[in-house]
Amino acid sequence: MRSLANLISILKTKNLTVATAESCSSGYLSYLLTKTAGSSKVFKGGIIVYSLEAKNKFFKIPYPLLRKTQGVSSEISKTLALGARKIFKTDIGASILGFAGPEGKKVGLVYIAVANKTGVICKKMVIKGSRDTVRKKTSFLAIKLIYNKVVSSL
């Protein structure tokens, strides 16, 4: 992916670092960020918070909110992006939350958040397709959002 190589190059040039917190993507975003040679200079780590318990333990999200939203909301996505940034002491934090399926009323509903020192943005979208398609498309969209956030803050 051309924009992925561009992103890693810009992050290196600007000496910026990134970390992730992922749920429905199961680490696919972290995989994408680390598949480019030299990415260890910019990628500091990621946490897969698949369960409500993990979201509570690592990011202190209250159980009433987690149960009410099934662990998926704009507020939680923003908290994870900000938290990833704080935990790993990075310039950028990114999160992915959602319902990859295959069952349920909300399959394909995802939230992607990206945080840096200027603030946090969060996008809500519905992605059609298989469980694997939802994971991959969401991760590629997250790469684009990180890229846009980095470029807009230069």
* Helices 131-152, 2-13: crossing angle, 10 deg rounding: 40
Nearest to 32 by CA among 112, 124, 86, 104: 112
- CATH code of the domain in which 37 resides: 3.90.950.20
pLDDT at 152: 82
Tell me the pLDDT band of 99, cut-offs 50, 70 and 90. very high
Paired tokens of 102: 């295959």
Domain range holding 114?
2-152
**Residue 3 predicted with pLDDT over 80:** no
pLDDT at 101: 82
The CA–CA distances, whole Å, from 114 to 26, 37, 61, 129 equal 17, 23, 18, 24
Tell me the pLDDT band of 68, cut-offs 50, 70 and 90. very high
pLDDT at 104: 79
* Helices 74-88, 52-59: crossing angle, 10 deg rounding: 50
Number of domains in the chain: 1
**The one-letter amino acid at 112:** I
Residue given tokens 């349920």 in the structure block: 104
pLDDT at 1: 53
pLDDT tens for residues 81-91?
999 999 999 99
**Residue 154 predicted with pLDDT over 70:** no
Query: What is the pLDDT averaged over residues 44-61?
Result: 97
